[in-house]
Structure 1
Amino acid sequence: MDARSNLFVIMKLALLSLTNKCDQKSSLLGESEARYYSVFKNKPSRLVHRMSSEPKTAPHRVALRRYWRHVLAVVIVLWGASWGFLAFAAPGIVRDVAVHWAENIGRKLEIGSVAIHPWTMSLELGGVRLRDKDGSTLFAAERIQLDAMPRALLIGHWHAELLALTRPEIDLTRAADGSWNWARLIKDASGPGPSSGSAPKVFLDWLSLSQGRLLFSDRQGNPDQTLDLQRINLNLHDLSTQAGEGGYTLTASMGDKTRFKWRGLLGLEPLASSGRISVSRLPVADIWDYLRPYLRLAPPSGELSLDLNYVFDLKGKQPRLTLSTLYGRIDALELRSPDGQSHLALGQLALEDGILDLQKHSLFFKRIHLSNGQVDALRDSTGQLNWLAALPAPTPAPTPTAAKSATPGWKVQINALRFDNWQWRLADQSRAQALELQSTIPFMSFGLRLGGRGELDVERVSANLANLTLAPRGQPAVLSVGHLGLDGASLSGRQIRGGQLTLQQPQLTLTRDTSGTLNVVSLLATPAGKSAGKRAAAPSVANKAASPWQITLPTLAMADGRLIWRDRKLARPVEVVLAPISGNLTPHSGDSLFDAALEVHAGSGQLNFTGQLDPASAGLQGQFTAQALPLAPLSPYLLSNTTLSMPNGKLSAKLDLRYAPAGWQVNGNAGIQDVLIREPGEQNPLLGWRALNLSGLKLAASPLAISVREVVLDRPVARLVLDQNRVSNLRRLFSGSPTQPAAAPASKAGSQSPLTFDARMIRVRNGDVDFADFGMKPAFATHVHGLSGTVSGISSKPGKRGAIALAGLVDQAGDVRVRGALAPLAVTDSADIQLVFRNIPLTSLNTYSENIAGWQIDDGRLSVELAYTLNQRKLNGDNRIVVDSIKLGPQVERPGISRLPLSLAVMVLEDSNNRIDLHLPVSGDLDDPKFSYGGVVWQAFVNVIQKVATAPFRALGSLLGLDGFDDVRFLAGEAAVAPPERQKLGQLAQMMSQRPQLRLNIAGTWDPAADRRQLARARVDRAILKAAGVALLADEPLPGIDVQDVETQQAIKTMFAERVGRLKLLARMVTGKSDPSFYEALRQEAIAAEKVDDADLLALANARAKGAQQYLTQTYPEVATRVTVNAPKTAQASADGVPLAIDLTTR
């Protein structure tokens, strides 16, 4: 209730009392009026009490009424006079008194306007400015309003309903001598005498500061710096002070919830204060204007509570401020990033037992606890975090001189900084594909220490992260960790200790898309046309001189991990899951080594590694152990571009590994078991084995080399099939792309591979090979089993050849053997191979004999020896085919098949032991695109058969190694068998004796021209020799005629005279010259005149046949019954003579 209301109550009570209605009309009073009425009623003044005790006579009542009328009139007059005084005279007096007071203490006070409102008991001052002695402003305000309650003075209190300051400005300055301007003002205003009594109590219902400003300057400590706090808004209500033991107490309310309490001491010269301050539930938005220069964010929600002890004084050059036993709390804090796209929500931030020392630049908290938080951030396309825009622009780096003289920085120590129940999310738009990284933090705690020179120590790090995920926006996670724990990590100086790191349920999903790009590569890729980032600045001189970082990796423990590999580039997509994965990494004490262990499960298989890791040298050594790792999931890689499948297969290994940056080495044993490669729809596997074991395996890098002491291939199986078009299944299945032209052979210098290998011994045990040919009608099939042997000395060393020795069984009784040597890297340059098939049933080859030769075979055995050598891609082969006891069946009458004269060939080629033994030398050039080794061997065999039919003697000569054994020849005009021909006839008789099924038909032959001329020559020459007295022995060849001999010349004339005529001789002698040419001319004329008729030629032919028959039967009489002389026939003579007609037939 204000003063005006009090005055109205007093006047009303006075009127009621004058009319004797005070008791009857008490109900007419209001609440406050009733309170005054009770005072008057229960505690009347002595005068009223004395008057009421006297007899109440009529004159007395009249006098009393007159008295109260006078009193009321006086009060009304005084009341009106006081209002007029306050309204009109008092403002000028107040201004003059205030200005005069300021002048008395050496200051200057400016007041623009003064207004007093008696009805409201309020005072308004406008344009107030108080200046110091030097003219600087101490205090200024645009408007000051005070609504007072004067009645409180009656009980010794200062009480005001409202104190409002609009745009107040306070300048707090310490001069160079250390004195403060406000302290000097208070000292001058208080006077020299000590204050008497205690300060009055002050009650203020409402204090309002609007758009205030505080200027703080220290010309002694920092003359160039001024603290300017602007836009200060403050509202306090229920503000009170009271003196007590040890100082004052101030309590205030700010808004509906905020409470402020101060208890402490205050000294003015020098300015000093100490005490305890408590603030509760202060909206953070109310103080945000003071933080806006440091955090450019919109005012947040949330409430701040503080409770602290403080000590403040300005005795020295630097202000002294110490805060201790500092406890604080921010509840329900919410902030938004400058761009408004991210937010931070904090359930509670609690500060415990803090100490701040302004002089020492130190800040300490026993504990800071942030709980129930949630924060998200955005990294934009330029790579900047959106929250960083809230920080002010960085100040330029100080010059070296300024940096050296600068005040040391703050020392901050937080014994425990703890986060509980947090969630965070980072959206990254700087990559080609937007990413999201998020997790929850159930618990994280660490100690923090920041030195004055920027030294940072972080200790006792303990953290738990849950549900950590990295994923493309809107897609499943690529990386996730169910639980990540870190304990015991620290950072001290330039030393980092990793502590103990625990990963539970980590999962990494690697995917290769149809273009062959890994998902992790695409995730980290930057957008097209954008650089990867700014180049790192060159290290400063200080950084170069600083000691290197010492990093101790954490002890790592991983459990229940999972690795998923997906490959969509292949025609058959692959998905491999390795789970669970567990492992640990434990550092050694005193060195940089770590003990490492890894255990990976893949289906029913398992992979283990135990060893040591040296991060300092990037070295690794240990032992890998694989147990039954399934290979079926990897079959699309091994069988790409095919329809084959590998439903099983297991890998086992025990390997020692040594790795260093200079190279690596692997030693041990390995094996692949139970491999079966199948074709769609086929029951039997195409390829497989029970076990492929490698012993003494060595792999090394720099240079890359592979060495195996022994390879054992146990029970391999293979199936080779030719389809109806005679195309092999291997060619069909593995021809994933159109056949490319064969590349030209590389030079020796360019053909050497950087990979070197050496296999000491390869063993094959109990192999099975099935062969089928569906291009034959009927189809052909055979089975090679029990294939065993060795391949030794396989090496990539130049010039070294490996040896091959394999043997197996064919069907029931046949066998196959492979022997030889080859150079693995240059097979076509150096190879010597022998392939032997023995005792193969010919009946199993009926398909080929029917389709290729046109015959069915009822019985017989086949042995084949294929021997070839390769030298610089040139092939030379010596092949042998042996057929035992062949028995031909009927000829096959089928359209579209070729026929060979096998019946005759068998009769000719088969010896007395029912064996056909053929040698088929072949040769060729591997660079010839039409070259085929199988085709060359087959063509050689076909040629032999065809020669038997067309030229049996030439075929036999080829078998016996005799050149020209294709016929028996006689000199023209002669019937004598020359010695070379005798030898041929003897060998022919020998072969016939060994082949009783053969018959020989011979016939004498003549050449009408050559034999006729030679018979005439022989008759003339014999007559010449007879005339010369030369006698010839039986079978003696006819000698030549020497026309230069005188006796022979005389014999020529005798012969000419007898056979041509003496007259002609005389005529020739008269006209010719007597020289050798003359006698040769006589001889030739006699030969031309000699007459040889057909009977002579027939006789010559028969004589030739008889002579040949005689020589055939002389040595081998048993063939006489199988030699028949047929009628003579004409023949064409050659330079070698006239051939005898010979024909081989069968019985």
Structure 2
Amino acid sequence: MLKKALIFCAFIALLLAAYAGAGFYVLPKLAEEKLPALLAEKTGLSVKLQAVHFNPFELNAELSGFSAGLPQGGQLLGFEQLAVDIDLLESIRQRGLTIAAVTLSRPVVDLQRRADGRFNFSDVLEKLSAPASADEQAAPTAESEPTPILVRRFVLEEGQIGWLDLQVGPAAGESLSSLKLSVTELGNQGGRAAIDLAAKLGSGGGLTWRGDLDLTAFGSKGRLKLESLALTKAWRLFLNGRLPLEIVDGRLALQTDYDFSVTEAGTQLLLSNGGLDVKQLSLVEAGKSDKLIDLASLAVNGIRLDLQKQQLDIAGVSSGNALIKSWLQADGQLNYQSLFADQAAADPAPTQDKTAEPWQIRLGELSLVDYQIDFTDFTQPKPLPLQLSELTVSIKDFRNQDGVGLPLQVSSRFNNTGSLKLAGDLVLAPFSTNLQLELRDIKLKTFQSYLEPFVKLELVDGDLDTSGQLHVAATEPLQLTYRGNANIDQLITRDKANNKDFVKWTKLDVQQMLLDVGKQDYALGKVSFDRPYIRFMIKKDGTNNVADILVEQTPVKPGRDAASKTSAQRVESPEPVVKIGKIEMTGGQSDFADYSLILPFVVKMNALNGEVDGFASNTDQDVKLKLLGKVHDLATVKIKGNYRLQSGDSDIALDFSHMPLPLVTPYMAEFAGYRIEKGQMALNLTYSIKKGQLSAQNKVFIDQLVLGEKVENPKAVSLPLELGVALLKDGDGKINLDFPITGSLEDPQFSVGSLVADVLVNLITKAVTSPFKALASLFDADNDYSSISFAAGSRDLTPDEAVKLDRIAQALAAKPELVLEIKGVAYQIQDWPVMRFDALKDILKKMKSGELSDKGEKIRSEYIELSAAEYERLLAKFYAEVFPQKFERSLLGAPRIKDNPDADFYIQARQELEAIMPPEPERLNDLAVGRANHIAKYLIERAGVDRSRIYILATELNNQDAEGGIHALLSLNVAS
């Protein structure tokens, strides 16, 4: 028996030895030799395996130094070590496979999408998915329950995943490094596995995921966090070519709790405690460099999402310090419309299911702070820049439900001087709003270009203020009403045809406005003018200066269909109705001229006070007019009467009294060649229009008229004026003229002037010649003395221009009542290319000053003189700072340009640096001032003109091409 026991023990020992030998040595050796070949055959990869270790008693195995290379070169995947530890006892107890631990160390995965769109692992997938041969196909087996598999713990350490998309570009890559993954209790028989994932992105930032995963129920719950994602990299990888905008900078961080599950009811995704944070986001139009959107910060917090209920709740969205650039193109489209229109044409939107339930979106609060919108209107002949700065927007309790009102608040600076505020409720669908609107200090000059197609009028100054209630509703027809008050302060307009003030006032106050655009009903309770001014002239032919400023509009001839539509619209649209309760004027002034009277009558009226009552465009009731004022602070004027808007019937009486006739001497001299030494005049003009028939009574009273000396004027009308005055005077030295005018205003042959000519001589006006042409005539020359020419970038006078100044000095000596005004001008296009080398040298001097300062020597840059060697050294240094990608040094250390190494570096570097230097307004302004000073200095010191007769005006920086040459401008004025 003992012998049998010994034999049995020996047999068992032999088996254990064989088992141990096979497990410790044979099996690892076979795996090292056969496994790479088998994997290579199945996948087509070049597989290497450094070592295999197996413990047959503890059932754990280790694979070391694994790599799988691609046939065309490069590694697809690999790892340093894979360790698997099987729990034999637990596997037996559970009748399945229980793995105590799996540890994967330093795995590396390198994924690529080639330029042809295929991935570097596409061939592997195709080989693995190829149909098996008849010998390899296994016989069908009956379905059975899957073998229970449980992994107690899976650990991945120091992993790395690389991605390169060559279809996008050679730099379109990203990587995950320091990848750590821990999974516990992962099995195929139910239960949730705990997962802890962390990784760093190659472009910066990191990713963490902590949660659980149920493979059988296909569900997961946990928290995701992404930190400092480089949006530039994300754009290149995923959005390049899909959006017309390019992300050139920005970082994204987001985090959320999630609960994902798939049940019979469908897929459910719950997000909670979500947040998103974007920093330093910069967007440009694809292929261009100018930033369209520059956003410092955007934060979204309190995100909650319920996929099945289709609900999205956001507690708040806040953003600050953003710059948005937009413009209206010459074709009338916004730049963003054009951008996304092209994108929409390339990628048509998918057809939406109209029966699907809409999402319910809620937003607690939207807050935008310190935004800036730079807008340019390129539809105008001169691009018009408009800016909203310090823009703040607040919206609360947003709901994407019809009829829900949103509290809205908006405030902003407009073009750095004005302000805008909106506060009220906004309804998105159907769109309507009730807002309290407030505008302050809006500069009307900003909108000059919008006037130019209609009037030749320059808006010199004027501020608009208004506050009221704005209501808009997107109905048919559109409802748009505004109720409130407004005022325009310090308005000044100038007639471009004559370069004179046309209309201006200190303050215009409009009370109780009610503007209804839909009904075309415009009511103003009271309009008050404080110190208004108007220049009005009735010309000889009966027309007035208002017609001079109107731009003739070219009528558009519509087609038959368009004409029918226009007719229909005219029938449907109501005629505008304007009602004004009262118009008041205090302290008004007016320059009035009427050349249709017997004598040309030109006066300046001031201290005008009056009112107009009962103005309504839809009635033919009398509009009552009453005005009282003075002429030249001496004579009085009274205007009183009634006027009917629709029929044109009127009764107007104008009275002027105590008009000093010497005040109109320039006009008498211009027409008759005489000065007036003494006299007063009174006018009484009565106009009555009934059914198109004019009846006017003109009474002229002249007292003690004394003609002065005769003015030598060869073009004056030849009249025996002395005899005429003697015959008209009565015994007391008075002249009375009383003559009526009648006629039909509808008769094209009717002319007041021709009727007056039958009574007195028709006076002829003369155009005054240009002052500088008069100067030129003194020297019997055709030179233009209104400007002085200069060489580009220079402020020195040429000999020819000095001769012109000598002649101007002679003319000033002959006309002591005149003063000369000098406006220095610098032309950016011509002057700057000559000046920018000096600007470049100043930069190099500042660099040298900084270097000396670093050594403890403080010398201001303007006192530094650069040697040739210092200039070349600093020029190379500056070029390397500006164009680092183009700069290199030769083997001997000489600087050179990479793409043009044979070029003279210093000449080429100077040209390239000068080319990018923007014009410096201060340097150009100094040039303009210098030109004006040189002219003034020459006239005073060389030509002997008294200093008090020379005025230097504000300089001008001209951004246009100086087609006629570079000039400083001269003008004449009367000494004050």
TM-score between the two structures when normalised by the length of structure 1: 0.51
Q: Distance in 2 between matches of 1:842 and 1:562?
A: 60
- State the shift of 1:488 in Å: 1.0
Tell me the amino acid that sits aligned with residue 523 of structure 1: L
SS at match of 1:636: helix
Among residues 754, 758, 764, which one is paired with 1:943 in the alignment?
758
- State the shift of 1:443 in Å: 1.8
Q: Distance in 2 between matches of 1:822 and 1:164?
A: 118
- State the shift of 1:487 in Å: 0.9
Among residues 304, 307, 313, which one is paired with 1:490 in the alignment?
304
Q: Distance in 2 between matches of 1:234 and 1:657?
A: 75
Structure 2 match to 1:551 = 361
Tell me the amino acid that sits aligned with residue 558 of structure 1: L
1:335 matches 2:163: yes
Among residues 638, 651, 656, which one is paired with 1:837 in the alignment?
656
Q: Distance in 1 between matches of 2:567 and 2:398?
A: 54
SS at match of 1:451: strand
SS at match of 1:792: strand
SS at match of 1:766: strand
SS at match of 1:522: helix
- Judge conservation of contact 1:808–1:817 (CA < 8 Å) in 2: yes
Structure 1 match to 2:293 = 479
Q: Structure 1 residues 430 and 280, CA, compared in 2 at 3 Å: closer, same or farther?
A: closer
- State the shift of 1:526 in Å: 1.7
Q: 1:378-410, CA deviations, whole angstroms, 9 ceiling, x for partnerless residues?
A: xxxxxxxxxxxxxxxxxxxxxxxxxxxxx9984
Q: 1:818-867, CA deviations, whole angstroms, 9 ceiling, x for partnerless residues?
A: 3344455x4x6455544443443344344555555777654231213231
Aligned length, in residue pairs: 675
1:790 matches 2:598: no
Q: Distance in 2 between matches of 1:726 and 1:877?
A: 16
Matches within 5 A, 1:718-733: 718-719=534-535
Structure 2 match to 1:505 = 321
Q: Distance in 1 between matches of 2:302 and 2:324?
A: 26
Structure 2 match to 1:56 = none
Structure 1 match to 2:466 = 653
Structure 1 match to 2:132 = none
Q: Structure 1 residues 364 and 270, CA, compared in 2 at 3 Å: closer, same or farther?
A: closer
Once the two structures are aligned, what percentage of the paired residues are identical?
Answer: 17
- Judge conservation of contact 2:505–2:530 (CA < 8 Å) in 1: yes
Q: 1:116-144, CA deviations, whole angstroms, 9 ceiling, x for partnerless residues?
A: xxxxxxxxxxxxxxxxxxxxxxxxxxxxx
Q: Distance in 1 between matches of 2:591 and 2:651?
A: 26
Among residues 667, 670, 685, which one is paired with 1:865 in the alignment?
685
Structure 1 match to 2:386 = 576
Structure 2 match to 1:761 = 582
Q: Distance in 2 between matches of 1:793 and 1:753?
A: 22
SS at match of 1:940: helix
- Judge conservation of contact 2:425–2:435 (CA < 8 Å) in 1: yes
Q: Distance in 1 between matches of 2:756 and 2:496?
A: 38
1:272 matches 2:97: yes
Tell me the amino acid that sits aligned with residue 420 of structure 2: L
1:372 matches 2:195: no
- Judge conservation of contact 2:60–2:83 (CA < 8 Å) in 1: yes
Q: Distance in 2 between matches of 1:413 and 1:704?
A: 61
Q: 1:399-452, CA deviations, whole angstroms, 9 ceiling, x for partnerless residues?
A: xxxxxxxx9984343422434343335377869x95313542242112334332
Q: Distance in 2 between matches of 1:739 and 1:600?
A: 39
Among residues 255, 268, 278, which one is paired with 2:66 in the alignment?
255
- State the shift of 1:476 in Å: 0.5
- State the shift of 1:784 in Å: 0.9
Structure 1 match to 2:25 = 160
Structure 2 match to 1:18 = none
- Judge conservation of contact 1:263–1:275 (CA < 8 Å) in 2: yes
Q: Distance in 2 between matches of 1:489 and 1:162?
A: 55
Q: Structure 1 residues 906 and 374, CA, compared in 2 at 3 Å: closer, same or farther?
A: farther
Tell me the amino acid that sits aligned with residue 559 of structure 1: V
- State the shift of 1:563 in Å: 1.2
1:694 matches 2:510: yes
Tell me the amino acid that sits aligned with residue 941 of structure 1: V
- State the shift of 1:535 in Å: 6.1
Tell me the amino acid that sits aligned with residue 208 of structure 1: L
1:597 matches 2:409: yes
Among residues 915, 918, 922, which one is paired with 2:738 in the alignment?
918
- Judge conservation of contact 2:303–2:314 (CA < 8 Å) in 1: yes
Matches within 5 A, 1:232-247: 235-242=48-55
Q: Distance in 2 between matches of 1:748 and 1:213?
A: 81
348-357 vs 664-673, which moves further: 348-357
Matches within 5 A, 1:661-810: 661-662=474-475, 663-678=479-494, 685-719=501-535, 734=549, 754-771=575-592, 782-800=603-621, 802-810=623-631
- Judge conservation of contact 1:498–1:553 (CA < 8 Å) in 2: yes
- State the shift of 1:339 in Å: 2.0
Q: 1:641-689, CA deviations, whole angstroms, 9 ceiling, x for partnerless residues?
A: 8886545422222222233323233222111212223578999744322
Q: Distance in 2 between matches of 1:519 and 1:588?
A: 28
1:885 matches 2:703: yes
Among residues 426, 429, 436, which one is paired with 2:235 in the alignment?
426
SS at match of 1:553: strand
Q: Distance in 1 between matches of 2:278 and 2:694?
A: 75
Q: 1:277-316, CA deviations, whole angstroms, 9 ceiling, x for partnerless residues?
A: 111112224xx79x99xx953359xxxxxxxxxxxxx996
1:561 matches 2:371: yes
Superposition CA RMSD, Å: 5.1
Among residues 457, 464, 467, which one is paired with 2:277 in the alignment?
464
Q: Distance in 2 between matches of 1:159 and 1:357?
A: 29
Q: 1:597-655, CA deviations, whole angstroms, 9 ceiling, x for partnerless residues?
A: 22212323322222233345433223222232333333333456888654542222222
Matches within 5 A, 1:106-505: 158-160=23-25, 208-212=35-39, 235-242=48-55, 248-255=59-66, 258-266=80-88, 267=91, 271-285=96-110, 297-298=119-120, 317-318=145-146, 320-321=148-149, 328=156, 331-337=159-165, 339-341=167-169, 343-348=172-177, 350-351=180-181, 358=188, 369=198, 371-372=200-201, 374=203, 410-424=218-232, 426=235, 435-452=245-262, 453-472=266-285, 473-492=287-306, 493-505=309-321
SS at match of 2:288: coil
Q: Structure 1 residues 820 and 299, CA, compared in 2 at 3 Å: closer, same or farther?
A: farther
- State the shift of 1:881 in Å: 1.7
- State the shift of 1:785 in Å: 0.7
Q: Distance in 1 between matches of 2:468 and 2:606?
A: 34
Task: Choose between structure 1 and 2 for higher RCO, CA contacts under 8 A separated by at least 6 residues.
Answer: 2
Q: Distance in 1 between matches of 2:261 and 2:714?
A: 104
Q: Structure 1 residues 833 and 905, CA, compared in 2 at 3 Å: closer, same or farther?
A: same
- Judge conservation of contact 1:795–1:801 (CA < 8 Å) in 2: no
Q: 1:13-46, CA deviations, whole angstroms, 9 ceiling, x for partnerless residues?
A: xxxxxxxxxxxxxxxxxxxxxxxxxxxxxxxxxx
- Judge conservation of contact 2:97–2:148 (CA < 8 Å) in 1: no
Q: 1:80-99, CA deviations, whole angstroms, 9 ceiling, x for partnerless residues?
A: xxxxxxxxxxxxxxxxxxxx
- Judge conservation of contact 1:760–1:794 (CA < 8 Å) in 2: yes
Q: Distance in 2 between matches of 1:786 and 1:855?
A: 31
Q: Structure 1 residues 520 and 421, CA, compared in 2 at 3 Å: closer, same or farther?
A: closer
Q: Distance in 2 between matches of 1:894 and 1:740?
A: 45
SS at match of 1:208: helix
Q: Distance in 2 between matches of 1:208 and 1:724?
A: 112
Q: Distance in 2 between matches of 1:367 and 1:620?
A: 50
Q: Distance in 1 between matches of 2:532 and 2:613?
A: 18
Q: Distance in 2 between matches of 1:835 and 1:843?
A: 21
